[in-house]
Amino acid sequence: MADVAEAILRSSAIAAQFGIWEERDFDAGRCPMRNVLDRIGDKWTMLVLMALAGEPRRFGVLLRMVPDISKRMLTQTLRLLERDGLVTRHVFATTPPSVEYRLSPLGLSALEPLHALAQWADANFATIRASRARYDDGLARTDP
């Protein structure tokens, strides 16, 4: 299929980009990969961004939407997203005050690559599960 050829082309594009990053030296403050991917590629950030995709959400709603996240980590994730300018925070003076989080234009722009990743995950989940099962079987067999 043409897919493979395309993948190889992409592959060299990525390799080239990696090379550029390498040259710029990987100093933690200067490398986009370490700064940006480390942040959005952590355990909860993608999930939170996706939970905010449809509409603004309140803290408590996010807490219920994102599976197994703790208050502590939700707070921290939202603070970092706010700091990076992907999310804005709005307090409403109700009692008790409620707080709404929404994606900024920058956050919105992050959805495109995230969506691509999510689709890939969805499309390949079955294959990956099968591979895991095969691998685990193989390991089990070499053991006794």
| Residues contacting 44, CB < 8 A, separation 6+ | 66, 69, 73, 74, 77
Among 2, 4, 91, 140, binds a copy of itself (CB under 8 A): 4
* Residue among 70 and 109 whose Cβ is closer to DNA: 70
Shortest separation between residue 102's beta carbon and DNA, angstroms = 12
Tell which residue, 105, 95, 123, 92, has the closest CA to residue 3: 123
Q: How far is CA 31 from the centre of its chain?
A: 18
Query: Residue 88 binds which one of DNA, a copy of itself, none, with CB within 5 to 8 A depending on kind?
Result: none
Q: Does 52 bind DNA (CB under 7 A)?
A: no
Burial label, 21 (beta-carbon count in 10 A; 0-12, 13-18, 19+): middle
Footprint on residues 42-71 left by a copy of itself (CB under 8 A): 42-43, 46-47, 50-51, 53-55, 65, 67-68
| Residues contacting 28, CB < 8 A, separation 6+ | 34, 35
Q: Does 73 bind DNA (CB under 7 A)?
A: yes
Report the greatest alpha carbon distance in the chain.
65
Footprint on residues 21-50 left by DNA (CB under 7 A): 42-44
Shortest separation between residue 81's beta carbon and a copy of itself, angstroms = 10
Q: Does 121 bind a copy of itself (CB under 8 A)?
A: yes
* Residue among 126 and 139 whose Cβ is closer to DNA: 139
Number of neighbouring beta carbons within 10 Å of residue 79: 12
Find the part of the chain contacting a copy of itself (CB under 8 A) among 38-46, 70-78, 93-101.
38-46
